[in-house]
Structure 1
Amino acid sequence: MPAFKSVLAATLVIALSQPFASFAASDDYDILAPTSGRDPTAAEMVADTLVARPLYAVATVAGTAIFLVSLPFSAIGGNIEKSANELMIGPAQGLLTRCLGCIEPLGDGNFERSAE
């Protein structure tokens, strides 16, 4: 049974790493501006689905919890809007307003983070 588990684990690692092999081998990938002027690749979509979206979901839930706990202190300090932007709106924007595989949010959306 331990041999079966190791073979299964190796098979899963190989199967899940295949989309990233084409991502790393692509010549047209620009690390400074990966989505400028082109559609996302399949590997970018897979990475976004398996890594980025779950992380944004966790960050949104955790940020909301932290915001609620720190709300009295933010109210005293007068920075409720800034803390809401950083802890809740930013991760929610990354989760909900981007196309699959894109880095930048779609359009302007209703979420706006202050430049400060």
Structure 2
Amino acid sequence: MNLFRSLAVALALSCGLSAMPVMAESSDNAASNDPIYSVQSPPFYKMMGDLLIARPLLIGATVIGTAAFVVSLPFTALGGNVKEAGQALVVDPGKAAFVRCLGCSESGYKQD
């Protein structure tokens, strides 16, 4: 693509995303006191930073962690901590990359 088209696409996406309303915490959800879900309404700049910087880095960390987990699997199997290694190297970065809402600092869904 030439420079003009790239700039036009980036401008259209940023204007379209900034025009979208952000879901605010409703009084019904706050009154339910549901311990499983937490609601955050991050500002636009946090969402854009998360989309353009944090998510690609977290996806890369998930891929690198998966490769490290596969390489270290014989040693972690001998040590008996395969579950902990998988949790730290694959599941935690994957959950931060794919489950967390855009711009939120923590996952909105918590299992006990």
Closer, same or farther in 2 for the Cα pair 1:51/1:73, shift >3 Å? same
Query: 1-side partners of 2:40 and 2:71: how far apart?
Result: 41
Q: Structure 1 pair 71/38, CA: closer, same or farther in 2 (3 Å)?
A: closer
Partner of 1:91: 93
TM-score after normalising by structure 1: 0.61
Structure 1: gaps (5+ residues): 1-14, 16-35
Aligned to 1:28: none
Distance 1:93 1:42 in 2: 22
**In structure 1, how many angstroms separate the alpha carbons of the residues matched to 2:41 and 2:80?**
42
Identity of aligned residues (%): 43
Secondary structure at the counterpart of residue 75 of structure 2: helix
How many residues matched?
Answer: 76
Q: Which residue of 1 aligns with 2:3?
A: none
Quickly say closer, same or farther: Cα 1:38–1:106, change in 2 above 3 A.
Answer: closer
Instruction: Select the residue among 70, 75, 78 that pairs with 1:76.
Output: 78
The alpha-carbon deviation at position 38 of structure 1 amounts to: 4.7
Pairwise CA distance, 1:108: 2.2
Aligned-pair CA distance for 1:92: 0.3
Higher relative contact order (CA 8 A, sep 6+): 2
Distance 2:93 2:40 in 1: 24
Write out the 4+ residue segments of structure 1 that deviate beyond 2 Å after TM superposition. none
Structure 2 runs not aligned, ≥5 long: 1-10, 12-37
Calculate the TM-score normalised by the size of structure 2.
0.63
Whether the aligned pair in 1 keeps the contact of 2:96 and 2:107 (CA below 8 Å) is yes
